[in-house]
A and B are shown apart, each in its own frame.
With several copies, the nearest count.
Chain A
């Protein structure tokens, strides 16, 4: 029991650290897609819906499962699709540092 709790807490804290580090250097250009991408990731709650579906054994539980499934699915599918749609627009590669310098020099 407590073993599991510790494992989960450790995972939680380290994941927070990863989250902070991975984001803290994203250029503002990509903030909107990034926000949307993170948004899609919390659609992982659909895994939770799956678990409760597998243990559901009462009308109440079925209803809750259904609700959870609808909401989570909307989150995960919508999230990834809209992010991809946005990013498909950023077709051209990032200006290389060199270009940057040229720009400034010119």
Chain B
């Protein structure tokens, strides 16, 4: 290690510190954006340092650099365009796609490093092990993330796709990938073997994600995020770059923690999710439960709801996945504003796993310019339901299912919004169909609950119109 390489290492440490500071500032909404910019600054330092380092230590030839520049231009354009145009409701897909490309890039780097070593009689384990691990993890995250994105986008069915013997095939592919990988460590550099590892891992990634329900996809996205981080760290070991090691490890750890938190909030084990199970995407699941008898369901019209709201003092809105599915964030914000202007105290009760990714609702409402301090988090909200006149449930189901307090069902033990403690409840959804967990919800048949069957977007718009009459009248 020369003095120069020493300095390179130091500035990588600087970049790493900025990454950490950036993530740290993500703790509060007020500083989060600044945090992201700081992290971007760290990225700039890491990249510039690497360019200088590469030019000085290797130089390289113009073709290589040209490939890099052109490639970067293409990738950057794609990334920026997608980032600019994406619907807030489609964020999970996009994150998943960025996982895919990250993993793919990591695999490509390791692959290239291996190609560069082909000429040599043998490669030290300290290099070959990370290369193999990187290609393994990178390929799995690449194909797996694409499938997950497909499921979230709906281009691939949210249903768990399994076929006879799929599990077995899964195992076989895994064995092939690992076997070829181990072999690579002992025999002299052999391109074919690495190609086998690559191919098998790609297939494994697909087989791993296919059987997972669409609604579980976000958890998998988070998990793959962590894996991508580890793949990048491995690439760092392979080409001895501290920048990659530090950043990769950071993301690997962060992603893992987040995954566990998500799973916990949905009170499911990550294992159960990977092995598939319930949570097989949305309404499809519960086509059966159509046959719910509507006897003790009190159905409301937009007018009924409007009256209840217009004469309430405290209103809490509990949004759920349906709000996202219907893209009704602007409608709900408009209604809330109307009521607030009319002197009614309106707040949002946000469940951590409402929607299809953690904090999903906060992002949507923020997009509709709902001020942050109107969004009550679980504890705050539950303290407030007690003296709330009308709780307006918009496309939410599991997150306010009182059965969670009882043992022995799919949501048992999941912390919920105590909507049923409000003086009266109004639920906007299209039918009596169940939600993600695929179980019925006693809240809907509770005497103090009124159901307004409609698409969230349309229903909210109608209510707003109706309310206008009462408040102006």
Contact = CB atoms under 8 A, between A and B. Distances in A.
User: Are A and B in direct contact (Cβ within 8 Å)?
Assistant: yes
Contact of A75 (B1, B26, B98): B98
Contacts of B256: 20
A20 B253 contact: yes
B225 A77 contact: no
B195 to A, nearest CB: 12
A68 B50 CA distance: 15
Interface of B is mostly: helix
A53 B209 CA distance: 32
B253 A104 contact: no
A56 B50 CA distance: 15
Nearest to A50: B50
B94 A78 contact: yes
B163 interface: no
A99 B373 contact: yes
Interface string A74-106: 111111111111111111111101011101111
B343 interface: no
A74 to B, nearest CB: 4
Nearest to B65: A53
B102 A71 contact: yes
A53 to B, nearest CB: 4
B95 interface: yes
Contacts of B109: 45, 48-49, 51-52, 64, 68
A62 to B, nearest CB: 5
B281 to A, nearest CB: 20
A66 B65 CA distance: 9
A100 B65 CA distance: 54
Contacts of A105: 383, 386
Nearest to B242: A11
Given A53-B54, A61-B115, A38 B359 contact: no
B21 to A, nearest CB: 9
Interface of A is mostly: helix
Q: Which of A30, A41, A68 has the most CB of B within 10 A?
A: A41
A76 B43 contact: yes
B248 interface: yes
A10 B69 CA distance: 31
A10 B26 contact: no
B245 to A, nearest CB: 5
Contacts of A18: 20, 250, 253
Interface in A9-68: 9-58, 60-68
Contacts of A99: 373
Contacts of B17: 13, 17
Interface of B: 1-3, 6, 9-10, 13, 16-17, 19-20, 22-24, 26-30, 32-33, 35-37, 39-40, 43, 46-47, 50-51, 53-55, 57-61, 63-65, 67-76, 78-80, 82-84, 86, 88, 91, 94-95, 98-99, 101-102, 104-106, 108-109, 111-113, 115-116, 124, 126, 221-222, 225, 228-229, 232-233, 235-237, 239-258, 261-262, 265, 345, 347, 350, 352-353, 357-360, 362-363, 366-367, 369, 371-373, 375-377, 379-380, 382-384, 386
Given A34-B359, A64-B108, A92-B371, 7 more contacts: A8-B236, A26-B26, A34-B258, A53-B64, A89-B369, A90-B29, A91-B371
17 contacts: A2-B1, A11-B245, A15-B16, A18-B20, A18-B250, A19-B253, A32-B359, A35-B225, A47-B50, A48-B109, A50-B68, A62-B63, A70-B72, A74-B76, A74-B79, A78-B82, A82-B82
